[in-house]
């Protein structure tokens, strides 16, 4: 039976993209640092595909970099380079249908900016090209000064006697040489907290924090902004079904970015006060 033209077909929704697993560690990930957007966010475009079991993130896909002390160093380094190519070590996080990268180490693989080449001095006389030796011509005659010839002959005689080649004091051993483009950057030392009791809070819509519980002691309040990850998503769900302030025993990585403290949550277990702490 033919369908009437007036029958509305159900809306076909495209399935959500497959995501990399939360906690996946990526080492030696090469790609390009992309400029920040209006929200002060930075992105990374990998040069090759990222695979995790049956999930593939194609090369060139922009992945948001999470705030961290390492990201702050990358941004400072990028200001000295015309092409921002890097090799990263990063942890993948997953939050509300998106993947993020938490960088922990990086190596620049693009050369730094060079100063502008000096313009030729107009007062310097231009030599006639006919007077210059043609270095590309194997049959061209190049006059060698007598003192240089003497040194060459002395070196040849010494090499003939010893049977060993004379070492050049200006030579560079290739096994010890490091590329200037891949200058080693000191690894950022983030701290780790394990099994700390904290209260889950939301200061404004979409900005969540953990406040470390001081148990009534007169110590400064430590507030850690939470980075998007699977553990945060689970904590939000637990908090949404609770009418009371939610206390958790937490573990994760503490980092700093532009003067603020952030926490990449690894584990959050809901705990109950049993009325001992007034909540």
Q: State how far the alpha carbon of 92 is from the alpha carbons of 26, 42, 100, 275, in Å.
A: 7, 15, 6, 38
**What Cα–Cα distance (Å) separates residue 232 from each residue in 57, 121, 126, 156?**
23, 63, 70, 73
| Contact criterion met (CB below 8 Å) for 113 and 81 | yes
Selecting from 3.40.50.12280, 3.30.460.10, 2.40.50.140, 2.60.120.10, what CATH number does the domain 191-271 have? 2.40.50.140
pLDDT for the residue 260: 93
First to last CA, the chain: 65
- Rounded to two decimals, the pTM is 0.68
Contact between 246 and 239 (Cβ < 8 Å): yes
Query: Residue 170: what pLDDT?
Result: 46
pLDDT at residue 173, rounded to an integer = 42
Q: What is the pLDDT of residue 106?
A: 95
- Say if residue 119 is exposed, middle or buried (CB neighbours under 10 Å; 0-12, 13-18, 19+): exposed
- Predicted confidence at residue 269, as pLDDT, reads 92
CB burial of 135-150 (b: ≥16 within 10 Å; e: otherwise) equals eeeeeeeeeeeeeeee
**Looking at the domain covering 25-108, what would its CATH class be?**
mainly beta
- 160 phi and psi angles, rounded to 5 deg: -65, -40
Rounded mean pLDDT for each run of 10 residues along the chain, 279 residues in total: 52 74 95 84 95 92 96 92 92 96 93 60 52 52 68 76 55 45 63 93 85 68 93 92 85 95 94 61
Here the contacts of 6-13 (C-beta below 8 Å, separation 24 or greater) are none
Cβ–Cβ < 8 Å for 67, 100: no
The residues spanned by each domain of the chain are 25-108, 191-271
d(CA 265, CA 278): 26
Return the biggest CA–CA distance within the chain: 104
Give 130's DSSP letter.
G
Question: Cα separation of 208 and 251, whole Å?
Answer: 16
Per-residue model confidence (pLDDT) at position 218: 53
């Amino acid at each position: 039976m033919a369908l009437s033209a007036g029958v509305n077909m159900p809306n076909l929704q495209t399935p959500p993209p497959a995501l990399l697993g939360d906690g996946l560690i990526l080492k030696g990930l090469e790609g390009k640092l992309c400029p920040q957007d209006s929200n002060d966010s930075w992105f990374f475009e990998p040069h090759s595909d990222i695979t995790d079991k049956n999930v593939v993130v194609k090369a060139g896909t922009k992945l948001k970099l999470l705030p961290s002390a390492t990201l702050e160093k990358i941004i400072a380094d990028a200001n000295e380079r015309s092409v921002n190519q890097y090799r990263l070590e990063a942890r993948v996080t997953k939050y509300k249908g998106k993947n993020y990268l938490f960088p922990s180490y990086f190596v620049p693989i693009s050369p730094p900016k060079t100063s502008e080449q000096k313009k030729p001095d107009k007062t310097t006389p231009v030599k006639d090209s006919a007077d210059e030796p043609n270095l590309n011509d194997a049959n061209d005659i190049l006059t060698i000064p007598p003192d240089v010839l003497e040194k060459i002959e002395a070196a040849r005689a010494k090499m003939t006697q010893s049977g060993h080649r004379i070492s050049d004091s200006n030579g560079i051993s290739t096994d010890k040489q490091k590329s200037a483009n891949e200058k080693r950057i000191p690894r950022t030392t983030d701290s780790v907290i394990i099994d700390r009791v904290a209260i889950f809070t939301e200061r404004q819509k979409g900005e969540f924090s953990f406040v470390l519980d001081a148990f009534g002691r007169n110590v400064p309040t430590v507030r850690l902004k939470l980075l998007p990850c699977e553990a945060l998503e689970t904590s939000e769900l637990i908090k949404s079904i609770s009418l009371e302030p939610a206390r958790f025993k937490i573990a994760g990585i503490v980092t700093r970015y532009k003067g603020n403290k952030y926490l990449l949550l690894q584990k959050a277990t809901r705990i109950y006060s049993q009325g001992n702490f007034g909540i």
